[in-house]
Amino acid sequence: MPTRRRTAAGLGFRTFFGLVVLLAGIGASVLTVAGFLGDLWWPFDLAADHRMQYFGVLVLAAILYGLAFGRGTAVVFAAAAAVNAVVLAPLWLAGTTTPPEGAPTVRIVLYDAERAAASRPLLLRWLADLDADVVVLQGTTPEWSDPIAEADLPFEPVIEPAPGVLEGTTVLASVPAEGELVTVRRSTFAVVEVDGDTPYTLVAVESNRPDSQAAHEARLDLFSAAADRATQTERPVVVVGSLGTTRWSKAFSVFTDAGLRSTEDGFGYQPTWMRADLPLIGPYFGIPVDHILVGPGIRVVDRSVGPELAGPHRPVTATLHLRP
């Protein structure tokens, strides 16, 4: 009798385990396909953001299901994992650039300070030690302006949040620069003309993840306006922003279709949101929604994420060589 009970318990666990693995693999496979259909429905565009997570789940599902149950279903999971691998591959396979010796470079830092107001002293100390030409702080409010002005930072404010905004943009520069805010519907983006050895234009745009079709369309309008403005300048152009989406979405393609390219290529998977201190999977739990893009004629010398600061986002730093 005990043997039968143990056998029944073992079969029950095996069935439950197989069902969990099967559902996880099917779900990740369906979402893998849905991520390519963002033009049809806005939730599908959100599904495109989790390519790394789908890849991990599908590889695990293919191995576990193949060993314990059947190879046919495991092959389907492996094929879906391969699709995500192809999408992810440019993050590692694209070549990086070494500028000519002595060539001037610029360093741009982007940080979304969402929910970080309580840790403002920590952020100000980080800014005080930061080596950068331009710093873009997003998710800020007018209450940030006075502490920044009083902190004796190596930067001058170029753009400050407009009165009454809950999530605005602050642009700081250690080189001469002038900026303006451009309004699109109820949103704004910043345009900064940066002077120096090699002048360039910086466009800073911020957007949250949409929760409705109307919000999705408003974000597309904002991205289109920012991309159009970026292509109108005769200077080299850099677009930065906490965009609330990854490079694999249809929304992000608004920028790439305008001739801009992500600085991520060749530097691996660098998630910026959400921060997670988890064993093994911690670095791969989040998604890269904070971006620095460049126009033609700009070489990406280096790109990094960090350090760990307050709030759910990580800063992004890009070192660029602007060919005259």
Question: Could you tell me if 178 and 197 are in contact, meaning their C-beta atoms sit under 8 angstroms apart?
Answer: no
- Is this model's pTM higher than 0.75 or not? yes
Residues 223 and 290 in one domain: yes
Domain C-terminal end among 88, 104, 127: 88
Domains contained in the chain, number: 2
- Indicate whether 36 and 115 sit together in one domain: no
Which CATH number fits the domain that encloses residue 200?
Answer: 3.60.10.10
**pLDDT above 70 as % of the chain:** 94
**8 and 108 part of one domain:** no
Residue 169 shares a structural domain with residue 271: yes
Same domain, 67 and 118: no
Tokens found for residue 236: 């080299």
- For residues 25 and 122, membership in a common domain is answered with no
Residues 126 and 67 in one domain: no
Of the candidates 226, 251, 254, 224, the one whose C-alpha atom is nearest the C-alpha of residue 238 is: 226
Q: Of 212, 20, 164, 168, which Cα lies nearest the Cα of 148?
A: 168
Domain shared by 70 and 128, yes or no? no
pLDDT at 1: 47
Q: Are residues 198 and 228 in the same domain?
A: yes
Do 221 and 252 lie in one domain? The reply is yes
Decide if pLDDT at 8 tops 70. no
List the single range of 5-9, 188-192, 227-231 with lowest mean pLDDT. 5-9
Q: What is the pLDDT of residue 11?
A: 64
Distance from chain centroid for Cα 72: 35
Range of the structural domain that residue 156 is part of: 96-322
Segment 198-205 shows an average pLDDT of 96
Q: What is the pLDDT of residues 216-233, one digit of tens each?
A: 999 999 999 999 999 999
Q: Are residues 153 and 269 in the same domain?
A: yes
